[in-house]
Homo-oligomer: A and B are copies of this chain.
Amino acid sequence: MGERAGTIQAVARAMRLLGLFSPQRPDWSVAELARETGLHKSVVTRMMATMAAAGFVVQDPVGRGYGVGPRAFAVGAGYRPHAVLTQIAGPVMRELTERRGHATSLGVPAGERFVYLLVHESRHPVRVAAGTGEFRDYHANAIGKVLLAALADDEVRLLVGPEPLPERTPATVTAIEPLLAELADVRGSGIAHNRQEAVVGVGAVAATIDEGGGRRVAGLSIVYPSHLVDEAEEAELIEAVRDAAALISARLSR
């Protein structure tokens, strides 16, 4: 009956509930959780009570909805890629953001999507960057393409799923072949672009962060409002992000 053999229904349900909490949506009521998951109210109540007793969630004042608990934060802080990269990439990204005036993001693969580990916001009035802990599709983001470019075409097909790929904006590449062609370019240049393919009006350039053995571990990007960056500046940003990624890679290896 279960999704997969050898798994525990009650725990799988609890994980589904807990997984709904995210930086984008950190607050849920019992009723909302029940509607979203299709579980019965009573089940949700008991699940949440159990997870609250363990400190993974907290209920705000009195019964009025649940939020993320300190224990969940503590466990999440043990995520390897984050622990390693935060120390090294953080200062480099900060300087990059200050010098260029645009937001910078760092992401790593996380199954069928990738996750933002670290984000430095720009001081622009318009915020264009994603938030730490958010997941995104590979195919419609600069960091995602950098990560895909580390894989063979077959693996890419497996990862992004069947056509058409989800269309985020009119500019999103929704077919596999053009995406693979683009990835070939990325392998050559080491740079991936995002030209309003995820959000209208937002562009980005990304470069690769490698570990010692050449294993690709992360992508670093500069994100900006498209109308503020002309071709000349884009060329500068490409150089900047390439240098920063190389610096982080070098510091990672030793």
Contact = CB atoms under 8 A, between A and B. Distances in A.
A95 to B, nearest CB: 11
Interface residues of A, number: 57
A9 to B, nearest CB: 8
Contacts of A8: 10, 14, 46-47, 50
Interface in A178-218: none
When all copies of this chain in the complex are counted, the total is 2
A22 B78 contact: yes
Interface string A44-82: 011101110111100000000001111111111111101
B74 A22 contact: yes
Contacts of A53: 3-4, 7, 12, 15
Interface stretch (A128-136, A155-163, A237-245): A128-136
B14 A73 contact: no
A147 interface: no
Interface string A107-121: 010110001010001
Nearest to A16: B54
A26 interface: yes
A26 B80 contact: yes
Contacts of A68: 75-76, 78-80
A6 interface: yes
